[in-house]
Amino acid sequence: MSVATAPEESAGSARREAWAQRGRGAVGLVRRVPFTASVVAAMIVLGLVTGAFWSPLSGRPSAIDLAYGPPALLAGHLWTLVTGALLAGNPALYVLTLGLFAVAVGWAEIRCGTRRTALVTIAFQLAAVLLTAALVLALAATPWIWAGRLAADLDTGFSAGMFAALAMTSITLHAPWRLRLQLVLVGVAVVGLLFLGGLADVEHVLALALALPLARRLAGPTAAPAPASRHVGRRERRLVAAIGLVVIAAIRVLTLVVPVIGPLGNTESESTVIETTISVVISLLLADGLRRGRRPAWVIGLVLGGFYALVGLVVIVAVIWGQSTGQMDQIELVGLAVFVPNAVLWTALLVWLVVGRSAFAVPSRRALRRRAHGPADGPRAARIALHTHGGSTISWMTTWPENRYLATADGIVAYRVHAGVAVALGDPVVEPAHFGDALTDYRALAERSGWVPCLFSTTAGLADAARAQGWRALQVAEDTLIDLDGLEFKGKAWQAVRSAFNRADKSGIEHRMVHLGEEPRALVAQVRAISEEWVGDKGLPEMGFTLGGVEEALDSEVRTGLAIDAEGTVHGVTSWLPVYGPGREIIGWTLDVMRRRNEGFRAVVEYLIASACLTFQAEGARFVSLSGAPLARSDRDPEGAEPVLDRVLDQLGALLEPYYGFRSLHQFKAKFRPRHEPMYLVYRDEGDLPRVGIGIGRAYLPDAGVRELMALTR
């Protein structure tokens, strides 16, 4: 007999509680989807009773009594419309059948309600099965071998009703996910019909043909507001065209590896592996060009699509003519079962490219470099816009030379391009009332150029304006602000700051606020040495983008705080970026560079920040911003805009913490009792997030090599 120790008992209790929570969560989910849960339970029970879990229905004499299809309906076995929907024809398909139905119809039930989902799923399942049987029996009277084969087939599953439920649910989504889901449903159904051509594939097409036009009425009050127009954006047209080509390439490989018997016969062809490989590579390269909106790729797509459409039409006419004249009793053309369906897909792509031709007008990279989107002297234009309109706490960073610029009617947008992502820095420098117009211009520029647009470290006002235009916004940092009105470093809460002042006095260190570019070269050299010493300890390159350095501190409008002893040695340095209000009034200052000499006293940074606050307070400034530490926040985004990205950013922040100390810096700033303002990442939709993450990473570490990034990963 053994006795559990206290830790073992605690661990066992924790495991039991975890299992109990999971059980309660599962019960709660079942209660939310009673229709889906009931159907899944019925599928399991009927599969066990009939033995379909371990024995295929095909080949059984009793199959006609369980599965639906033309033979069962002609025999009067109407009950098979129910039993067949709750079975899978093969044991290997049961997990897939149960899983897909549970996820798809369960999701529909959560979004549209139990009653609507149940009615749509059942009604359209019955309608699709009955219409398919009628259509197949009618076609079986013709010489079409495929139709005659289907007339003798049986089918199982609830998939037609599932397609209809998803079609209804698609209308509850906002753009662009509504169109994306609908295209996926149509694509799966059409490709299945063209290449497989089973009873289920016909049922899927008919279910969608009935449900999609009625989707808004079926969804009722759960439908998302109808869009003001049915215009499809440039980005969606490019994405759909690229995915279409990838699908065509994938089908080419699958038909080579796993030939099947389709509506036009055997998909086995005489194509070699080399021919298929060349075709797939060309398709993928063309798909990448279409994704970027390149005009040459569009032209090649038109040529290939036109070729397939023309030859496919000739082949179809020849087959029909041959059969109608009796010269061809049975068509046995090699590759016909692959070529004609491919011709249909290429024709659809051709129509898409022609209709959306304006989306594929992006010039080559060389032409893009020659073409100027912004003013000739972007940094100067940014300064003028800031002096006129004012800006956010990081708006001075728009004057940095690495930026590109988009001139708008009212101001300017500063951005950088990395990995095909246009990353705008903070808010557009315009009147807040014109945020919407600037966003529209910026998005249009990015889409014309084949870039993914986003804006990083924006204010809440810009995030609200972006959401109103259909963008998404996620908090990625916090601005830390010290209000200078009435600020006094008195009381217990400011003990650490007062200790820094006392230590500086004892060490003979004084604070000087200067324009670094006007200081002697020897002093600037000390500042550079301190900065290089700090960078050399990191193991990774100095970060950029929203983090400046000594070169930025040399600007004539930037102020630099120095902690200098009696011998002229610099112990610490801070640089401060001006924050302009309208009419060229400086209303605040933003901390940028913050570094100290390794052998200097540790509280020198506290001393520098506190001294700067008193200096700016005496000059009439309203606030000091300690800036936002990238990937560091006091809490999560209260709106929960994108929990997956939220977790990714937290993990990235944890990865970079040992190298750059963002979170430690965020905690350090808490000594100054600041108030916090959220800073946001604004992006089009969740589909952009992987590329946006790469683009922002490259913006911060543009010079990081493979070895350094591998070191970070380790």
**Contact between 492 and 498 (Cβ < 8 Å):** no
- Which residue matches tokens 């032409």? 367
For residue 362, the model assigns a pLDDT of 73
Kindly report the number of other CB atoms within 10 A of residue 32's CB atom: 12
Instruction: Of 711, 626, 638, give the one whose Cα is nearest residue 676.
Output: 626
For residue 2, the model assigns a pLDDT of 36
For residue 650, the model assigns a pLDDT of 57
Tell me how far apart the alpha carbons of residues 90 and 96 are, in angstroms, rounded to a whole number.
Answer: 11
Query: Running DSSP on this structure, what letter comes out for residue 393?
Result: T
Kindly report the number of other CB atoms within 10 A of residue 242's CB atom: 20
Instruction: Of 276, 234, 285, give the one whose Cα is nearest residue 252.
Output: 276
Q: What is the DSSP string of 188-210?
A: HHHHHHHHT--HHHHHHHHHHHH
Question: Domain spanning 480-689+703-713: which CATH class is it, in words?
Answer: alpha beta
**Contact between 535 and 659 (Cβ < 8 Å):** no
C-alpha pair distances (Å), 288 with each of 187, 240, 241, 243? 20, 12, 10, 9
Beta strands in 208-268 (DSSP E): 261-262, 265-266
Kindly report the number of other CB atoms within 10 A of residue 16's CB atom: 10
For residue 3, the model assigns a pLDDT of 37
Structure-block tokens of residue 93: 């398909």
For residue 35, the model assigns a pLDDT of 95
Tell me how far apart the alpha carbons of residues 101 and 386 are, in angstroms, rounded to a whole number.
Answer: 56
For residue 241, the model assigns a pLDDT of 93
Query: Running DSSP on this structure, what letter comes out for residue 152?
Result: T
Tell me how far apart the alpha carbons of residues 185 and 446 are, in angstroms, rounded to a whole number.
Answer: 29
pTM of the predicted structure, to 2 decimals:
0.70
Tell me how far apart the alpha carbons of residues 526 and 121 are, in angstroms, rounded to a whole number.
Answer: 74
By residue count, the chain amounts to 714
For residue 489, the model assigns a pLDDT of 86
Determine the CATH number of domain 33-231. Answer: 1.20.1540.10
Write b or e for each residue in 343-362: b if 16 or more Cβ atoms lie within 10 A of its Cβ, otherwise e. bbbbbbbbebbeebeebbeb
Burial of 76 (0-12, 13-18, 19+ CB in 10 A): exposed
Q: Where are the domains of the chain?
A: 1-31, 33-231, 237-359, 365-469, 480-689+703-713
For residue 610, the model assigns a pLDDT of 92
For residue 260, the model assigns a pLDDT of 77
Mean pLDDT by groups of 10 residues along the chain of 714 residues: 41 54 64 92 92 84 91 93 91 87 95 95 96 94 87 93 96 86 94 91 96 94 76 80 92 83 75 83 92 89 92 78 57 66 92 87 62 72 93 93 88 91 94 94 90 93 94 88 90 86 90 94 89 61 73 93 92 94 93 84 88 94 81 48 53 50 60 87 88 83 60 48
In this structure, what are the phi and psi dihedrals at residue 392, rounded to the nearest 5 degrees? -80, 180
Tell me how far apart the alpha carbons of residues 634 and 508 are, in angstroms, rounded to a whole number.
Answer: 36
Burial of 295 (0-12, 13-18, 19+ CB in 10 A): middle
Tell me how far apart the alpha carbons of residues 472 and 511 are, in angstroms, rounded to a whole number.
Answer: 44
